[in-house]
């Protein structure tokens, strides 16, 4: 078990990639604090994990609201006294061309995908600094590296997350805290199922491996960065994209 005796907080764990990360971490022996905005949906992920013997705390928290993001971390610490791993996975899209983009769609995507991660990192850094250990993993995207027409808000947030990752890695390395990012390509989840079939086909032709990824493919990369196997890795962006961007 690669995460035995470790405590992990995973945001956006009610479905898709976050759910796969929670299941993967649970199998590897971690105790979990899972959140999304919908408590019933997180409980539905938590229950089968508990049935398998995993300790899981489910919390309703909107990471885009500072107080709720901070309360998530405080509750996790109160429950387990220590936190070893934070996965900032919660994310949304509000796609449109720049010239048509509404302020609220810009703001909501930046606030959730970028500022939300900064809230949890700032809250958890204090705890991990005292422990002198911790691993933080931010779920970015390949479009944070390449940009994407129709997703300027999302790409800006995901690029910002890479800057946040590298800056935090530099600030926290001497305290024993590693900070890395994962940049998934196109993964089969609710987020991508909204794409029209012709868009999914077009995207698939741009992937050398010619298939969309599965949430588990991302979870295995997160597991590596969360575990002690990556103890000398910090400030990195691991692409999990079937070769889409290289």
Ligand X SMILES: NC(=O)c1ccc[n+]([C@@H]2O[C@H](COP(=O)([O-])OP(=O)(O)OC[C@H]3O[C@@H](n4cnc5c(N)ncnc54)[C@H](OP(=O)(O)O)[C@@H]3O)[C@@H](O)[C@H]2O)c1
* Closer residue to ligand X, CB minimum distance, 30 or 139: 139
Task: Tell me the window of 23-31, 32-40, 170-178, 195-203 that interacts with ligand X (CB under 6 A).
Answer: 32-40
Q: Which of 7, 8, 10, 16 binds ligand X (CB under 6 A)?
A: 16
End-to-end CA distance of the chain: 32
- Number of Cβ atoms within 10 Å of the Cβ of 64: 21
Q: Which stretch binds ligand X (CB under 6 A): 14-22, 94-102, 164-172, 219-227?
A: 14-22
Q: Is 154 a catalytic residue?
A: yes
Of 92-111, binders to ligand X (CB under 6 A) are: 92
Tokens of 21: 């990360």
Backbone angles phi, psi at 9, to 5 degrees: -105, 125
* Residues 122-141, interacting with ligand X (CB under 6 A): 139, 141
Residue 232 CA from chain centroid, whole number: 21
**64 in contact with ligand X (CB under 6 A):** yes
- List the strands of the sheet with 7-11, edge to edge: 56-60, 31-36, 7-11, 85-88, 134-139, 177-184, 237-240
Q: Can you give the binding site for ligand X, defined by CB under 6 A?
A: 11-18, 35-38, 41, 61-64, 89-92, 112, 116, 139, 141, 184, 186-187, 189-192
Known catalytic residues? 154
């Amino acid at each position: 078990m690669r995460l035995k005796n470790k405590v992990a907080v995973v945001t956006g764990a009610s479905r898709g990639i976050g759910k796969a990360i929670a299941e993967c971490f649970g199998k590897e022996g971690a105790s979990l604090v899972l959140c999304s905005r919908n408590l019933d949906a997180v409980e539905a992920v938590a229950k089968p994990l508990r049935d398998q013997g995993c300790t899981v705390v489910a919390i309703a928290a909107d990471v885009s609201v500072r107080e709720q993001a901070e309360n998530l971390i405080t509750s996790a610490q109160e429950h387990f006294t220590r936190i070893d791993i934070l996965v900032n996975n919660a994310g949304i899209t509000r796609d449109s061309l720049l010239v048509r983009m509404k302020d609220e769609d810009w703001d909501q995507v930046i606030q959730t995908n970028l500022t939300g991660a900064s809230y949890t990192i700032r809250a958890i850094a204090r705890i991990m600094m005292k422990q002198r250990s911790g691993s933080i993993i931010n779920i970015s995207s390949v479009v944070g590296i390449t940009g994407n027409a129709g997703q300027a808000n999302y790409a800006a947030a995901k690029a910002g997350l890479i800057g946040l990752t590298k800056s935090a890695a530099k600030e926290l390395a001497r305290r024993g805290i590693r900070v890395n990012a994962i940049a998934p390509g196109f993964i089969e989840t609710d987020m991508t199922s909204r794409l029209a079939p012709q868009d999914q086909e077009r995207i698939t032709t741009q992937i050398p491996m010619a298939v969309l990824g599965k949430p588990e493919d991302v979870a295995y990369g997160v597991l590596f960065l969360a575990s002690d196997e990556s103890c000398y890795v910090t400030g990195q962006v691991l692409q999990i994209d079937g070769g889409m961007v290289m």
